[in-house]
Structure 1
């Protein structure tokens, strides 16, 4: 079958109903594009620009539409803007000449350029997983425009078993013959999520190849800057990167809410509690019935917790 993305509003309504969202009408965001750092970036704007601005950064292998269900619940109280980060969704890929550079630093500069492009004097920044690490770096180094920060199920240290499980799912589904094949795999990997929700998510996460099969909308090219490292050197780089993230977290002065999925295999309770201890002004909320993708697994409780937090600080 063809990718059913053409029925965007209809599929979103079905996903919202299946996820139990207490809404009667579905509103869709507007698509925008901007050239930053030599890459064409795609982002979604959910309207109501007179409300407090909130930028949402997705996780790895995801894209801007991952926030759609939560956005439906929050758009009447906040001006939500969700970009697809480089190499994800409908945003362009890193140029070949930059593959030898640290991708996390490139993404940090992308976020800085994107926020400058928006031009708002004040905004809040919320990031999940990869986007959460990007949020840590930005908030720790460029805090001038930020009023509040949200970090979703990520910290400088992650549980390895969960990372291995996620990578196995991604690699096993690199390219499949049909959209339905992807949907069936996703239903087995995420049985807690309604099929209608998964179908909607995949419409935005997949693209057809020239031979008619399906693959992720993601740049999986290996980064040249760490390709030739030994195992010991790679571990040393990872340790140094983790310590730099801890330093960034300690530098964040803005009120921060750390989300943890109650069933997360990525962020342990112990590490989450350490984050709260080491940060200046942070609090922890655990979202029930949620794994790593907190905002998608339980958008109702996620949105309620974020709204409760932001309403005190913006």
Structure 2
């Protein structure tokens, strides 16, 4: 008999207890579904339900998100997430693994696939390349020390206030729905159910660490990223929504840094959350690609 839902499991990475949802079927090929920033592993439930019959689906909560622990210092560099993904794959002996990932999760997965190309069988990244070349040019016009003082100000702001509290679940649900108008009310309700905790006073707050708003400015250089992108050897599909803020790499030129194994598709009537906004079409594409 199929399980009603996934089991909750944990692993340790960087002395931190991290959570993942395991959808069973352990004899099937492994498939990681990795969420984006300020999201959680249960946002993949609809996809996992459709994929669990053919795959051993594992959906991690990235550190500072969902039911994974927060960093005590509130410092979340991208390489820390890459290390966590590497540890999950190493500890559970998943390589070669197939990965489908969204936004920040896509960024993390692309970097992992470039560091360990032999460990990734196939990769789907939904809007996972980070800031566009145009945005990066804007950032470069600001002195590096200003980026750091801005980050310090953001950290102080995050440390000086409590997580936002919503008086009722419905008000938190309204905020979730406002953030993505493409969602149905029931989709937004499911996402909100797994995104909030109930405080002692009966109010609701998001599970993610407020310090995630303060993105540290230290990272790999663009030249280093381009080198990593060129090291990816597995078949890779990058997916974009035409109504999203994210820049399509075919249109902005970044596709030139990838090999012939990388292709791009895009969707009308979809924003940043293509896997929610165009779920049926997205699933048909992903199932065919990773088969």
TM range (shorter): 0.7 to 0.9
Tell me, yes or no, if the aligned pair for 1:155 and 1:272 is still in contact at 8 Å.
Answer: no
Which stretch of structure 1 is more off in the superposition, 243-252 or 120-129?
A: 243-252
Partner SS state of residue 176, structure 1: coil
Tell me, yes or no, if the aligned pair for 1:149 and 1:254 is still in contact at 8 Å.
Answer: yes
Tell me, yes or no, if the aligned pair for 1:261 and 1:294 is still in contact at 8 Å.
Answer: yes
Map of 2:142 onto structure 1: none
Map of 2:151 onto structure 1: none
Map of 1:282 onto structure 2: 262
Structure 1 residue ranges, 4+ long, deviating more than 4 angstroms after superposition: 222-226, 240-243, 270-273
Q: Does 1:254 align with 2:234?
A: yes
Map of 1:127 onto structure 2: 101
| 1:300 Cα deviation after fit | 1.5
| 1:154 Cα deviation after fit | 2.4
Equivalent residue runs for 1:207-226 within 5 Å? 207-221=197-211, 226=216
Map of 2:57 onto structure 1: 80
| 1:156 Cα deviation after fit | 3.8
| 1:149 Cα deviation after fit | 1.2
RMSD of equivalent CA atoms: 2.6
Map of 1:112 onto structure 2: 86
Q: Does 1:301 align with 2:286?
A: no
Which stretch of structure 1 is more off in the superposition, 177-186 or 217-226?
A: 217-226
| 1:278 Cα deviation after fit | 2.2
Q: 1:294 to 1:224 in 2, by over 3 A?
A: closer
Q: Which runs of 5+ in 1 are unaligned?
A: 1-24, 161-170, 227-233
User: TM-score of the superposition, structure 2-length normalised?
Assistant: 0.81
Q: 1:57 to 1:180 in 2, by over 3 A?
A: same
Q: 1:270 to 1:57 in 2, by over 3 A?
A: closer
Partner SS state of residue 144, structure 1: helix
Tell me, yes or no, if the aligned pair for 2:113 and 2:119 is still in contact at 8 Å.
Answer: no
| 1:189 Cα deviation after fit | 3.3
Q: 1:144 to 1:202 in 2, by over 3 A?
A: same
User: TM-score of the superposition, structure 1-length normalised?
Assistant: 0.75
Map of 1:139 onto structure 2: 113
User: 1:38 aligned to 8, 15, 18, which one?
Assistant: 15
User: 1:201 aligned to 191, 203, 211, which one?
Assistant: 191
Tell me, yes or no, if the aligned pair for 2:26 and 2:56 is still in contact at 8 Å.
Answer: yes
Mapped to 1, the partners of 2:212 and 2:27 lie a distance apart of 42
Equivalent residue runs for 1:158-177 within 5 Å? 158=132, 174-177=164-167
| 1:86 Cα deviation after fit | 0.3
| 1:212 Cα deviation after fit | 2.1
